Amino acid sequence: MNERELYLALDFDGVLHSTQLGPTKKHCTDYAAGHLSAGEFLDLVSKDKRARYHLTSECIDFLFDRAAVFAKTFTCIPKVQTKLVIATSWRNAMSAGALQALVPAVLAPHVCGVLDPHEEEHREPGTRARLMEKWMAEHAPHARWLAVDDDAWLWEGAHSRLVQPPRDGLDGPTWFELRALCHALSEDVGKFDSMLESRSEVSA
């Protein structure tokens, strides 16, 4: 096992773009059924959300508009081998292959898996935390992991591992929080583990 290997459970809505820009269930099911290509899906979601929220074409907010900033986590700290496990609720309406086809090119090489679907995950606290623990036990039992998600409720029991952006998407403070954790792992594994322990005490 590479001690500098880090798995990130990655949400989309509220991380890679604002929550209000995420697709509807119909968008996802139409894409999953083959009625839309990946490009058509992304274009339609952006068009529908712009119309709903009266966004102009000059507005900088669009689907995956924070992906390039998020990707800097990997380029800034090359010693850490970062791998992405997709945790977005989109996975509940489409196959893993269809979902991965939507991942921005700047992130796609880092994707290594998708959490199991769970259509009722928002009914019970800590659901994604348990799904990620299960995924890690099956695929990388000795590796370290974090989650990047705007919904802390889904990570009940694992808040020390959670980097939580605001609902508008990844911002400066949360990017620096994630970068600090990655930097700690690049310097010393024990330092990273100590940071998680300290965060656990704060969240308790």
- What digits encode the pLDDT tens for the residues 66-111? 999 999 988 888 899 999 999 999 999 999 999 999 999 999 999 9
Element (H, E) at 132: helix 127-139
pLDDT digits (tens, 9 = 90+) for 57-76: 555 457 899 999 999 988 88
Q: What is the DSSP letter of 86?
A: E
> For 107-124, b where at least 16 C-beta lie within 10 A, e where not — what string?
beebbebbbeebeebeee
Evaluate whether 79 touches 2 at the Cβ level (below 8 Å): no
pLDDT of residue 37: 95
Cβ(66)–Cβ(12) under 8 Å?
no
CB neighbour list of residue 20: distance below 8 Å, 6 or more residues apart: 49, 53, 167
Give the largest Cα separation in the chain, rounded: 49
Encode burial over 51-67: b for 16+ CB neighbours within 10 A, e otherwise.
eeeebeeeeebbbbbbb
How confident is the model at residue 56, as a pLDDT? 58
DSSP at 13: B
